Structure 1
């Protein structure tokens, strides 16, 4: 089954470009709000997945907060109209200007990842005669069983404060006068489809909460990050992730203290299926043992296959001929510039339009100008 695209309108547009199904995005946001609302959970959108202003504005219109990992993302969230008091700022390497930007904007919370960062935030907030609201990012040492580049919750990862150092950090925190501990923050990785990983996170958080309770400490907020994956192989059959079982897992297994609020930071699951990279066939090249479909999009437009060996469903949306097998490659002068090998496509020729599906997350935002190429434009279903 192929996706539905306004092919006749694509023929007048210069490729490559990103195409966003804004109705699917809105339907996805409706499901998030419905399922999270059952339990009064709070959801922030992880801006790193896609910072396109139109996409951000739609997400903001649907009431989500913003999870930012740079000063630039804070600026993008504010430009799109996100209220400052719904913006959280994470990231292992916050520069002084970024921290001060957060102070000046009045953001909700800083997710802090180390003792040196605590000290810097305390110093900068003291200079402004402020008390900074922070959450400690704790590394729970949970294996998300996903690609090693996007696993973040193991001891070997650079993120967060290790469990063995938590007491020491809390002791130090009590000495800092310009910081207020608002919550605990966790994030174990990305593209997680096995709910058992999130169940394990809940159990670990319960243990940590019990330990904190013995220290007479109860925080206001538990932030469990994001990480919910999508179905890259069947983007039409599973166009909206299973938010019901995702949120239900935390509702069933996480033991919140009275009046504690639970926050999430979903990125990929919000935007991924609504975006596709549209490209045109330049040549069909006969190799010795295979055929190559050479398209005008490259790793500069969608780097995930080259960087992660990630799979994206590839469709020839202008051919209904019998299927053949091709390697689908781009024009970049790198052997890694390959979108898929031994891909079954309807018989393909020069000028055909190819869609790379499930590209709404970590597609446009990671585009580069390597080889002096132009960044891809974006078009939207409600404008064509």
Structure 2
């Protein structure tokens, strides 16, 4: 994708490091996701935590997606950018009172509630502001997502959701809360899931708990199954768009529901990851007895995932000549931390000071996690 002179000439005019967003790819990804969901009458809420760049969000909002928020500021940003309040969900294990009040005043679609105490707090705050809060009760399904342990969220050992042992009590509390309306159930088992059998297992658990409530006389209108669909970090050009048909087909086949029940999803990474690339410049090259280093002007302050999750991102030299001699490099940043490394023993065309490097599939959990550590400048971005 980046081995052409047009891209090289354009990027050479930009101050590095910066995030490059391919808006055409973003549009196509959103179009395919929405078509696959609409065909099954599924609802998608875009997870703002993946990427909250204003221009990216504007395109997502224009496509008719809802918003999945995990902070009061994300709720407010969604409102400010035109997402309808009745398409906004508010998730998160630790919602502050002021964040809950913000969402209540905007009359959002639903709170995804994660504990019995949170039920009681939302009920009390809703009473204070004269509102009734629609909620979806997040249940921990104890399903292993088979992904990195930092982004697994659906096991008993994780902090998320109401454990099975407390559901009887949670149902009783909901029944006694005059300012809460139980709209549905919410589940989320983790992120970057590429094994579709994980979602099949989730469907089995969702069916069990939906039936559990309905057997006790509680009708469930909304089944929110979260998100978690992974992307291909190894082959971003060969597989730029996830297989949304296969993903939604799993839920269409295995999720038990009637014609009146709605199925909601919270997709983030799958929609935006491949559309973003971190572009950096080689500041220095350094060779030792055991290692060749490329020292970039981007670091963990611009892309945290490799340091936080030991995550893989494909690394390319922009405008590299076909057949050029390759060396194995440790590609590192300028931050004074040994963990500030994008990849070890990466085969790249022999490089020199001033060369441009692309770190691919960085549209999700890239710009949003940037920091000012070491008093670094704010991250820049460029659009196609």
Q: TM-score w.r.t. structure 1 length?
A: 0.98
Structure 2: which 5+ residue stretches go unaligned? none
Offset, 1:319: 2.4
For 1:1-384, what aligned pairs fall within 5 Å after superposition? 2=2, 6-320=7-321, 321-381=324-384
| SS of 2:247 mapped into structure 1 | helix
Q: What is the distance in 2 between the residues matched to 1:3 and 1:263?
A: 40
Structure 1 pair 191–58 and aligned structure 2 pair: CA distance change class (3 A): same
Residues 180-226 of structure 1: per-residue CA shift (max 9 Å, x gap): 00000000000000000000000011111222221022211000000
The 8 Å contact of residues 7 and 318 in structure 1, kept in 2 or not, is answered as yes
Q: What is the distance in 2 between the residues matched to 1:78 and 1:135?
A: 20
Offset, 1:245: 0.4
Q: What is the distance in 1 between the residues matched to 2:212 and 2:90?
A: 26
The 8 Å contact of residues 319 and 348 in structure 1, kept in 2 or not, is answered as no
Structural RMSD (CA): 1.1
The 8 Å contact of residues 214 and 220 in structure 2, kept in 1 or not, is answered as no
The 8 Å contact of residues 111 and 136 in structure 2, kept in 1 or not, is answered as yes
Offset, 1:347: 1.1
Q: What is the distance in 1 between the residues matched to 2:225 and 2:366?
A: 24
| SS of 2:93 mapped into structure 1 | coil
Offset, 1:127: 0.9
Residues 306-345 of structure 1: per-residue CA shift (max 9 Å, x gap): 0000000000013222221100000000000000000011
The 8 Å contact of residues 224 and 262 in structure 1, kept in 2 or not, is answered as yes
- Tell me the matched-pair count: 381
Q: What is the distance in 2 between the residues matched to 1:3 and 1:299?
A: 25
Offset, 1:77: 1.2
The 8 Å contact of residues 7 and 319 in structure 2, kept in 1 or not, is answered as no
The 8 Å contact of residues 311 and 340 in structure 1, kept in 2 or not, is answered as yes
The 8 Å contact of residues 227 and 267 in structure 2, kept in 1 or not, is answered as yes
| SS of 1:236 mapped into structure 2 | coil
The 8 Å contact of residues 3 and 319 in structure 2, kept in 1 or not, is answered as no
Q: What is the distance in 2 between the residues matched to 1:3 and 1:61?
A: 32
Structure 1 pair 263–304 and aligned structure 2 pair: CA distance change class (3 A): same
| SS of 1:139 mapped into structure 2 | coil
Q: What is the distance in 2 between the residues matched to 1:8 and 1:174?
A: 64
Offset, 1:2: 5.0
The 8 Å contact of residues 275 and 363 in structure 2, kept in 1 or not, is answered as yes
| SS of 2:253 mapped into structure 1 | helix
| SS of 1:146 mapped into structure 2 | coil
Q: What is the distance in 1 between the residues matched to 2:264 and 2:66?
A: 10
The 8 Å contact of residues 2 and 319 in structure 2, kept in 1 or not, is answered as no
**Segments of 4+ moved more than 6 angstroms:** none
Q: What is the distance in 1 between the residues matched to 2:147 and 2:237?
A: 23
The 8 Å contact of residues 42 and 264 in structure 1, kept in 2 or not, is answered as yes
Offset, 1:71: 0.8
Residues 18-63 of structure 1: per-residue CA shift (max 9 Å, x gap): 0000000000000011100110000000000000011000000111
Q: What is the distance in 2 between the residues matched to 1:213 and 1:66?
A: 28
The 8 Å contact of residues 193 and 230 in structure 1, kept in 2 or not, is answered as yes
Structure 1 pair 45–3 and aligned structure 2 pair: CA distance change class (3 A): farther
Offset, 1:257: 3.0
Q: What is the distance in 2 between the residues matched to 1:178 and 1:81?
A: 27
The 8 Å contact of residues 145 and 190 in structure 2, kept in 1 or not, is answered as yes
Offset, 1:3: 6.5
Q: What is the distance in 2 between the residues matched to 1:366 and 1:138?
A: 27
Q: What is the distance in 2 between the residues matched to 1:100 and 1:268?
A: 28
